[in-house]
Structure formats: structure tokens, C-alpha cells
Chains A and B, each alone.
Chain A
Amino acid sequence: MQGAGPLLSVKNLYVKYKSYWYTYHVLDDVSINVKLGEKVGLIGESGAGKTTLLKSILRVLPTQGKITGGEIFYKDVDLLRCSKQRLLEIRRKNVGMIFQDPLAALNPVFTVKDQMLEVLRYANERADMNKSDLINMALDLLRDTLIPDPERVLNSYPFQLSGGMRQRIVIAMALASARELLLADEPTTNIDVTIQAQILKLIGDLVEKKGLSMILVSHALGLVRKMTDRVYVMYGGNIAEEAPTSKLFNEPLHPYMQLLLKTAPKLVESPLTEGIKSIPIDYRNPPTGCVFHPRCPYGDQEVCRKVKPPPIEVEKGRFVRCHLYGSGS
């Protein structure tokens, strides 16, 4: 991207998970970028590699995960090759991540206070900081996320709190480090439907208020449409399509995205929607050519089976990896 240069740019990223017997090729040539102040959506079915992508950015993959190729630049810092200290600084003070499962993201045997103060201590390294300052900062963050009675919550153990409450705490913790970029990994997956909209709205408001850039991973297509400027569609460890939000939802190009939109329930017409013919991807041995071709309604052409489609720029800022939109040569 030209101009001021992106805040975050991931180029040609490859990530593999290695188990004892198999190697899983989870991310395959993934490139995304986020400009300053931009809100970027990341959508795609479960297992498309969205979480892996976010975890790779901060280099917090589980131990079996290995980044085997590509570049990740945060501003001008090469996150894959910079010093350990530089990476820690960025994790502490620039980028924050909200993990998918609020029930799992808090340590069960430490109080909320233990965990929040630990995070805040490293996010605000100042000599004149004392414990009561940190507690006040923690309380402020909890108030920001609209938690009632923050003093009580701060001294509780996670299992004493509800799922929605824990997700708010996780958000508050992420905000302690996210001074510039917030990575929100399906922040509403494991909580009550009634709370989901509230939490997303809360995240949207806070991002707006603090002027953050954001990558939002979500299955709630309507909310992604409302909250983001640009969207990446992921399928099978690939970026299938990249487009400004309104264009993507009005006129999806990639067959996968077209099908995905059809699955969204509508109020009018028949409430039951058709799904996508389901064959989960085997990451040990991903399909040759276009990864989507076994499920694609147009996927029976030879080129789809043999040639991996390159990103094709259909119009400015709009890329699609599909042979329908140009030759693969």
C-alpha cells in the first residue's frame, strides 16, 4: 500500500502446525495490511486460519505452530526478525489482543487483580508507578468496559464471574496494551446471544474513543458490515477476497463469499437458508489448485484443480483469488 505506509503489514505468511505424525499447512501465502485508524474485518468459516493469523502477528502461536515463511511488519519493525526486547515492547505498549474464549483467557487460579496488575505493570513502565496507581488504572479500564462494581470484580476469581463479565475483563486487559492496534478474535463467540451485540458495540465505541486501528474477526456478518472499513475473506488458510466492506457485501466476487452471504438468515422469504456443501479441509494435504474448488459451484474446471489462483486486482483495492476473474497464468 502506498502513502503513509500501513500500520501493520503481513506479507506472504506461511504457518504450519506440526504434530508427531503430520504437518498441517494452516496458513498458505497470506497477506493483509492495516492502515492507521482503519478497522479491518476478517471473516470466514471456523478453521479458516483466522485465529492462527492473529496469533502469528503477535507471535503467540501454541508450541506446535511454526511460522515458516513471510514477513510481518509493524510500522517499520520486522516482527519476525526484531530483537526479543523490541517484540516485548510492541506487545506491551502498542498492540493488544482479545482472545476468542473469555472462559479460557483468564487464569483460573489467580484473581482478576493479579492478572490485570501484571499486564498494567509492564504496559506502563514508569519509575514513579506504585501499586495504588496500577489499581486505579485497572479500575478505570474496568469502568471503561462498563463493568458494574469494579472493586468487587477486581478482587474476584474468574470462576466467580459470568461469561459476559469475563469477556469485558479480557477486553479491558487488551486495551491496556492496545494503544494503537486491537486484534479482536471473535470476541463474542462463547457468550450469551443477548450480550453479544452489547460487547461488540462496546468494542466499537472504545476503539472509536481511543482512536485505535482494529482487526475484527467475527462470524456476525451484519456486525462486521457495520463496524469495519475493509474486509478480508479467508478460506482454507488463504485470503479469498479483499474488498472495502460495502462493496464486498453488495457485490461479492469470490464464489465462497457469495455462498457465505446466502447462508446468512434473512427476515423475509424462507427463514431457513442453504448451507455450503460441506467438506472440511484436510490441512495435512490441502486440495491442489484453488483450495475452494472441491466445494465451489464453478470448481469443475481443470484450471481450478491444477493452478492456485493469484490475487487478481479487479478494481483498485479489491483483490480476489479466483480464476473466474482472469487467467491464472
Chain B
Amino acid sequence: MKSRFNVLKSVYENTVFRRAVLSLLSLLGLSLIIFTLARIVPGDPARMALGPRAPEEIVQKYREMLHLNEPIYVQYYYWLTNLFQGKLGISLTSFREVSVDIAEFLPATLELMLFVAIIQIAGTLILGTLSGSKPGSILDGALRVFTYVGICVPAFVWGLILQFIFSYVVGVFPATERLSPGITVPRITGLVTVDALATGNFRAFVDALWHLILPSLALALGAMAQEARILRSAMVENINKDYVLTLLSHGIPGYRIYFKYALKPSVASTIPVIGLDIASLIANAFMVEVIFNWPGISKFGITAMLKKDLNGIVGVVLMAGLIYTVTNVIVDLILTIIDPRLRYGEK
């Protein structure tokens, strides 16, 4: 008899250790590539950081401080030793430790990602199942039109549309920022909703939630539409399988069959896409962050790239890589939990 604990244990033994080692190696590879790439691209980081009017000797000094005159592998060595002390180097735009910058801007994006994930997953499961369980029905047709539009319209356009309708015309949701003026929340985790709950400030929690809805929707809609279509096609295939017809022949109500017995074998193809879409927000949320004036990491990353902020670029890309890796591990864990064949297959 397999208990829940045993299931989790076998998942853990099979995947987690192997994946952890592989992930570290690929992150190391990623750092090497982005480190080199950032330095190969033309442009003088020191000059750009100090501005066109800075005297040449100061710029030269700055170059030496950043080891920019040394071979790339020596620079990489310096950077790596720094990394093992927990330092990513000084940002050339904010002139602070990059890790401090990341710690400041990342939580806003993480919070956004969290809510996008909730909306996206719930929406995908509901729309995909409704659409796929009755292919050809009116509801299916309507949902397919909606998902088509969802795929075609980019996130920032959704952002503008939502802002126009819900904050300008109707005026129910705030257009920008994370909190209304006058409401403050002490910074603990950086996730405003969590901090508000932790300090028992329920009013701030609701306010933060209210601010999150439009940007999350803007980011979720397109991805959700695409994922719902993937789920739909898997569903359409599975609802004619004998194991679904068998349950139908036993008089099990449709909603139980579709939302449980047909959904579970159908989601396998959708989950990796959901994972990737959510992870990609770390960089792709840029336009939406700009529109909603959201102090997130995407904005920081793009600025670093435009200003050729070497340490900033490497830091942000590595962090994005880390988030992708973690997401992939989570996706794999979910897949093994869903499909028992993956769980026992290896033994």
C-alpha cells in the first residue's frame, strides 16, 4: 500500500538530487555565456556609466577598478570568486550591489508572477475543460474565439485596454502603483500582500490585491488563452477514450468526469507550457511593468541592458535562469505526481 508520504518520497529520491546537480551545472554554463556575451558586445561600459563629460583619467581608473582591461577569463575568475562571497558586483546604473538591487525589485515581479500564475492556471483549467468537454458546442465556439483573440493581442495591449476600461471608464481598479497613496506597509518579504497580512493590516491587503488585478490579468490573458487551447485539444482527444466512456456508461455525472477523470490525464501537455510562461514573466513583464508603473525586475533588467551595465546584466540573467530552473523542477515534480507511470517507471 502506497501512502501519500511514500509517493512524495519516491518523487523526491528520483528527481530532486539529480535535478539539483544538473541545475547548478547549467547555471554555471549560463553565467559563462552571458558574462562573455555582455563583454563582447561593442560599447564602453565605463564611459556609459560616467557620462560623456567625465574626464578620461577617471574613466580609465574606473575601467581598472572593473578589471575591464584584463582578458575575459581573468575577469570571469574575479567575478566567480566574488560570487562565492555572495557578491554580484556593483551595478553601473544604481552604483549599488546588484544583489541589493535585485532584492529590491524582484519581490514586486514575484508577487505579480504569483497572481498571474493563479489566474492563469485557474483560467486554463476551467476554459480548457469547458471547451474540450463539449467540442463543437456554442460555448466551445465562443471560448475558441476568445482564446484566438487572447493569443493575438500582446500583453501590453491588454494592459492598456484593461486600464482604459476598468480604471478610466468604470473606475473600479487603480491604474498604476502597488498601493494607494497614504497606505504603507512595512517591508518584510517585499510581497505587499503578504507583508500586509503579516502585519494584520487588512485594509492594505485588500488595497494591494486591488492594484494587482489589472496587471496580473494583462499578463495572464494571452498565455491563458494559448494554454486553454492546448488543454482543449488534449481533452477533445481524451473524452472519446474508453476509460471516459466507461465512466459515462456508469452514470457518473459529466462534471465529475470532465473536471476530474478526463482532466487529469489531459493536463500533462499543458503544465510545462504553463511553467515556462510563468517563468518567462521575469523578463517579459517589462511593457506591463512600465504601463502600470510597477517597480519590478524586468524594468531593472532592461535598463541594465540599455546602459550596458555589465554586472546588472549578468545578475539579472542569472536570476532569470535560476527562476527558470526552479520552475522546471516544480513542473517535473507536478508531472510525476500527476502521472504514476513516470513515478514507478524508473524502478
Partner of A91, one of B241, B250, B264: B250
Partner of A122, one of B1, B236, B252: B252
Whether B242 pairs with A99 at a CB distance below 8 angstroms is: yes
Q: A171-183: contact bitstring with B at CB < 8 Å (1 yes, 0 no)?
A: 0010011000000
Whether B250 pairs with A92 at a CB distance below 8 angstroms is: yes
Interface members, chain B 211-238 (any A CB < 8 Å) = 236
Whether B243 pairs with A106 at a CB distance below 8 angstroms is: yes
Q: Which residue of A lies closest to B136 (CB)?
A: A63
Hey, which chain A residues are within 8 Å of B1, CB to CB?
A: 155
Whether B249 pairs with A97 at a CB distance below 8 angstroms is: yes
Q: B241-256: contact bitstring with A at CB < 8 Å (1 yes, 0 no)?
A: 1111111111111001
One of A107-115, A140-148, A236-244 at the interface: A107-115
Known: A110-B264, A118-B256. A105 touches B242 (CB 8 A): yes
Whether B339 sits at the interface, judged by CB under 8 Å, is yes
Whether B251 pairs with A105 at a CB distance below 8 angstroms is: no
Hey, which chain A residues are within 8 Å of B243, CB to CB?
A: 104-108
Hey, which chain B residues are within 8 Å of A106, CB to CB?
A: 243, 246
Q: Which residue of A lies closest to B1 (CB)?
A: A155
Whether A58 sits at the interface, judged by CB under 8 Å, is yes
Partner of A159, one of B134, B236, B252, B341: B341
Q: Which of B1, B2, B251, B340 has the most CB of A within 10 A?
A: B251
Partner of A107, one of B240, B250, B265, B344: B265
Whether A55 pairs with B245 at a CB distance below 8 angstroms is: yes
Hey, which chain B residues are within 8 Å of A58, CB to CB?
A: 248-249
Hey, which chain B residues are within 8 Å of A97, CB to CB?
A: 246, 249
Whether B245 pairs with A160 at a CB distance below 8 angstroms is: no
Interface residues of A, Cβ cutoff 8 Å to B: 55, 58, 60, 62-64, 87-93, 96-97, 99-101, 104-110, 115, 118-119, 122-123, 155, 157, 159-160, 170, 173, 176-177
3 smallest CB-CB distances across A and B, nearest first, come from A91-B251, A92-B251, A62-B240
Known: A123-B250, A170-B246. 20 other contacts (CB 8 A): A58-B248, A87-B251, A88-B253, A89-B251, A90-B251, A92-B251, A99-B242, A99-B246, A105-B243, A107-B261, A107-B265, A108-B340, A109-B341, A110-B261, A110-B264, A118-B256, A118-B261, A122-B252, A176-B250, A177-B250
A–B Cβ pairs within 8 angstroms, 21 of them: A58-B249, A60-B245, A87-B251, A88-B251, A91-B251, A93-B251, A99-B245, A99-B246, A99-B249, A104-B243, A105-B242, A106-B246, A107-B265, A109-B340, A110-B261, A115-B261, A118-B256, A119-B250, A123-B251, A155-B1, A157-B340
